Amino acid sequence: MDPRLYNSAKSGNIDVLNQLLNENPSLILKLTPHENTVLHIAARSGHKNIVAEIYGRMRSLLRHPNLDGDTPLHVAARAGHFSILSFLIAEISSLSWIGIENERNRGIEILRWRNRWNNTVLHEAVRNHHVAVVELLIKVDSELACSRNNAGESPLYLAARDGMGEIVNQILRLAPSCAHGGSDGQTALHAAIVAGCNDIMEMLLRVEPQLISESDDRGWTPLHYAASLGDEKTLGQLLELDITTVYILDKHGQSPLHVAASKGRTNVIKQIIRYCPDSGELLDLNGRNALHVAVLNGKVNVVRCILETTELEELLNQTDGDGNTPLHLATIGGKSWIIRYLMWDDRIDQRAKNRSGQTPIDIDNSIGESCTSPRIQISKIWRQLSIPRTWTVREKILPSPNQEEASATIQTYKKMGHTLLMVDTLIATVTFAAAFTMPGGFNNEIGPNQGLALLASSNDLKWFIIADTIAMVCSITAACVIFWGAIIGRESYGYYFLSATGLTYIALQSTAAAFTNVLHIAARSEHKNIVAEIYGRMRSLLWHPNLDGDTPLHVAARAGHFSILSFLIAEISSLSWIDIENERNRGIEILRWRNRWNNTVLHEAVRNHHVAVVELLIKVDPKLACSRNNTGESSLYLAARDGMVEIVNQILRLAPSCAHGGSDGQMALHAAIVGGP
C-alpha cells in the first residue's frame, strides 16, 4: 500500500486522501502485508469521514477480509468505533444491498461474517467490552447472539466470563433466545461462577433457570464449580434454587461433595451436609466416598471436619471398590498426619481388611523401601502410634516381643526428650534476652523519641522481631509439650515428642533467620559502631545473604553508607581473609558477590547515585566495573542511563577497561543519547 495513502487514512487527512485517489484511483485497491484494505485502516483509526469517502468510492471493500478473515466491520467493532459501525450498518441495511434475484439480504450476510476463528462482529465487541456497540449490533440483528466461535464460545458466555454485567443484561433483554454455551462444554452460568460474579449468575438464572443443572464436558455442574472454589454465598444460592444438583455426578462419578473434599473446602462440606445430610452416601466410580477422596488428596482439614460431623460417621470405615477403608488409603499414601487423626479416633477399625486380606498395619509392613526412605520414617511413626494405642485393647493379641519393643521405643523417646527440653530452654532464653537487647540500640537523646528503638522504621528490624518472637513462642510451647507428655503417661508420649520436635525445628529456623539478619539491619542503619561490634562477634555474618541474595555490603552500598563500607572493606582486605591453602582472597570474593538479580555492590551504589561509594569500590577492585547483571546492565550503562556524569567520569578514569553493555543489547552510549543532554 502506498505509504501516503496509509498515513492519510490513519491520521484522518481527507484532503490528501482525495488528492491521491483522484490522481490514481487504483491506489484504493492496494493492500498491506496482512491484506488490510485502506477501509480496514480507516475503520481501525476511527475516522468516520475517511470511512465514508472510501466506502463511497468502492463499496465492495466492505466485503474484503484480511488474512485473519476480519472485515472492516470486525475491525471497527473490535476498536469500539460506534459512529463508524452506525454509518456502515445504515448503508448495508439500505435497499441497494437487497439482492432481489437471490431473495436474500446481502447486508445481513456481511454483518454475520465470521473470521478465521469464527468470531462475528458481536464477538469482537463483547470481547473488548464495548457496551454501546453490543447494543447496536443486537438491535440490528439479534441472531448474532446465537452464534458460537471455533472454541464454542457465545457472546453471552464471553460477557459472563469477563464479568460484564451490563452486556449480559443487554444480550438477555434484546435476544432472549441467545446461545449460552462456551468452551469445554461450559455455559455462561459456569463462567459467571468461576469469575465470582453473583449478579451475573442471578441474571442468568432468572432468564435461563435450567442452566443450574447443565454439565460441561467433564460433567461438572455450576454447583461443582462453586464447591471447588469454596464460594459459600454462590453455593447457598444454588442450593436454595435446586438441591437436587448435589446428587449430580461428573464423568468420574464425583459429586460436589467429593470435589469439595478434594480441594479442602470444609466450609462447603458443612453447607452441603446442612442442606442434604444424606449426600455423604454418594460414591464415585471407584466406590469412594468424600473421606476416601480427602485422604487421597492429603486434606487433613477435611479429615478432621468429617470426623467431627455426626452425619458423616458412616464414612469412617466404609470401603471402596478394592475394599480399602480411609485408613488403608492413608497408609498406602504415607499420609502421616491423617494416619494420626484416624488412629486416635475410637470409631476407626484398625483391623479392617481389604479384598487382599490386608489390614493397614499389614500394608505398611509389606511396603519394602530402603531404610533411608521418607516412606520408612512414616512407617515408623505409624507403628509407634499404633502399638501404644492398642496395648489396652490388644494386650493378649500382641506377642510380648512387640510390647517390649514398644516400651523400649518410649524409653528412647524420653531420653531424647530430655535433650530436646534443654535445647528448647536455651532457645527460649536467648530469644527472650534478644527481645530486650534491641539491635541498633535505643534513642537516649531527650525528646519525644527517647527510649524508642533507633531502627524502628527498618523492615529488617521488624522481621527480626517477628522471627525472634516465633522462635521464643515455639521453644516455650515445645518445652511445655514435652513436660505435659511426661505427666500424661507413656501411651501417648510418642505423639507429644513428635509434636515438640516439629516446634523445636521451627524455633531453630526462626532463630537462625532472626540472628543472621542482624548485620543487614546495622549496615542499613549507618551505625558504624554497631556494625563493628556485630562484625567483631561473628565475621561470618558478612557472608550471609538475605532472600534477595544481598550481603550486608549490598545493603550498605545501596544506602550509601561510606564509613561502614570503608570499615568492612578494610577488614576483608586484611591478611586474615586470605585463604592461603586454596590460593584465593575471600575478601575479593565477598566484594564481588552478586544478589539474585546478579547485581554487585557497585551496581547498587551506581543505581542509587552514591558518588563517593562508587569511587571507593572501584579503587579497591576495578574488576567490579566489568560485571553485568541479569538484564545485561553494566555499572557504566546505569550511570549513563541516569545521567550521572560524575560517576561515568569516575568509572572511565579508574576502570578504563570496564563493561559498557546494557539491557536489550544497548550500550552506555545508547543510554546517554536516550537520556538526553
C-alpha of 255 from chain center: 27
**Which class does domain 215-305 fall in?**
mainly alpha
Cα separations (Å) of 529 from 125, 267, 367, 523, 537? 66, 55, 60, 10, 12
The pLDDT of residue 389: 41
The pLDDT of residue 589: 83
Question: Is there a shared CATH topology between the 316-398 domain and the 547-674 domain?
Answer: yes
Band of residue 408 on the pLDDT scale cut at 50, 70, 90? low
What residue type is 673 in one-letter code? I
**Which class does domain 1-116 fall in?**
mainly alpha
> How many Å apart are CA 466 and CA 106, to the nearest integer?
72
Specify the residue for cell string 466470563. Answer: 161
Contact 13, 51 (CB under 8 A): no
Band of residue 94 on the pLDDT scale cut at 50, 70, 90? confident
CB atoms within 10 A of CB 621: 19
The grid cell for 479 is: 518445652
Cα separations (Å) of 264 from 186, 300, 407? 24, 8, 37
The grid cell for 305 is: 471436619
Residue 197 has pLDDT above 90, yes or no: yes
* Region of residue 208 (phi > 0: left; psi between -120 and 50: alpha; otherwise: beta): beta
Q: Can you state the angle between helices 562-572 and 528-537, rounded to 10 degrees?
A: 30
Q: Can you state the angle between helices 14-23 and 48-57, rounded to 10 degrees?
A: 20
What value does the mean pLDDT take over residues 236-248? Answer: 96
The pLDDT of residue 586: 67
The pLDDT of residue 248: 97
211-225, 255-269, 451-465, 555-569, range with the lowest pLDDT? 451-465
Q: Is 519 helix (H, G, I), strand (E, B) or coil?
A: helix
CB atoms within 10 A of CB 17: 26
Residue 266 has pLDDT above 60, yes or no: yes
The pLDDT of residue 675: 73
The residue ranking higher by pLDDT, 382 or 10, is 10
The pLDDT of residue 402: 47
64-68, 302-306, 427-431, 645-649, range with the lowest pLDDT? 427-431
CB-based contacts of 556, cutoff 8 Å, min separation 6: 523, 524, 564, 565, 568
Average pLDDT, the chain: 85
The pLDDT of residue 130: 98
Band of residue 101 on the pLDDT scale cut at 50, 70, 90? very low
> How many Å apart are CA 677 and CA 662, to the nearest integer?
19
Cα separations (Å) of 280 from 244, 292, 310, 400, 459? 14, 11, 11, 41, 49
Beta bridge partners of 442: 453
106-115, 161-170, 489-498, range with the lowest pLDDT? 489-498
Give the number of residues written for the chain: 677
- Tell which residue, 573, 587, 510, 512, has the closest CA to residue 543: 587
The pLDDT of residue 411: 66
The half-sphere exposure of 368 on its side-chain side, counting CA atoms within 13 A, is 0
Query: What is the residue-wise DSSP string for 419-485?
Result: HHHHHHHHHHHHHHHHHHS-TT-B--SSSTTTTSBTTTT-HHHHHHHHHHHHHHHHHHHHHHHHHHH
Contact 137, 88 (CB under 8 A): no
CB-based contacts of 457, cutoff 8 Å, min separation 6: none
Sketch the domain layout of the chain as residue ranges: 1-116, 215-305, 316-398, 412-515, 547-674
Residue 441 has pLDDT above 80, yes or no: no
149, 150, 151, 153: CA torsion to nearest 10: 10
What value does the mean pLDDT take over residues 239-245? Answer: 95
- H or E, element range at 567: helix 562-572
What value does the mean pLDDT take over residues 235-253? Answer: 96
Instruction: Please give the CATH number for the structural domain made up of 547-674.
Output: 1.25.40.20
Query: What is the residue-wise DSSP string for 66-119?
Result: -TT---HHHHHHHHT-HHHHHHHHHHHTSGGGEETTTTEEHHHHHHT---TT--
What value does the mean pLDDT take over residues 565-574? Answer: 85
The pLDDT of residue 497: 78
CB atoms within 10 A of CB 266: 21
pLDDT in tens, 123-133: 999 999 999 99
Contact 110, 137 (CB under 8 A): no
88-92, 197-201, 540-544, range with the lowest pLDDT? 540-544
575-589: string of b/e by CB count within 10 Å (b at 16+)? eebeeeeeeeeebbe
What value does the mean pLDDT take over residues 494-505? Answer: 82
The grid cell for 146 is: 446465537
Beta bridge partners of 311: none
Band of residue 398 on the pLDDT scale cut at 50, 70, 90? very low
The pLDDT of residue 501: 87
Fold of 316-398: 1.25.40
Contact 276, 246 (CB under 8 A): yes
Band of residue 583 on the pLDDT scale cut at 50, 70, 90? very low
What value does the mean pLDDT take over residues 204-214? Answer: 95
The grid cell for 470 is: 516465633
> How many Å apart are CA 632 and CA 251, to the nearest integer?
51
Contact 190, 181 (CB under 8 A): no
Whether this model's pTM surpasses 0.75: no
605, 610, 612, 618: CA torsion to nearest 10: 20
Q: Is 231 helix (H, G, I), strand (E, B) or coil?
A: coil
Contact 205, 236 (CB under 8 A): no
The pLDDT of residue 456: 54
The pLDDT of residue 370: 37
> How many Å apart are CA 339 and CA 165, to the nearest integer?
47
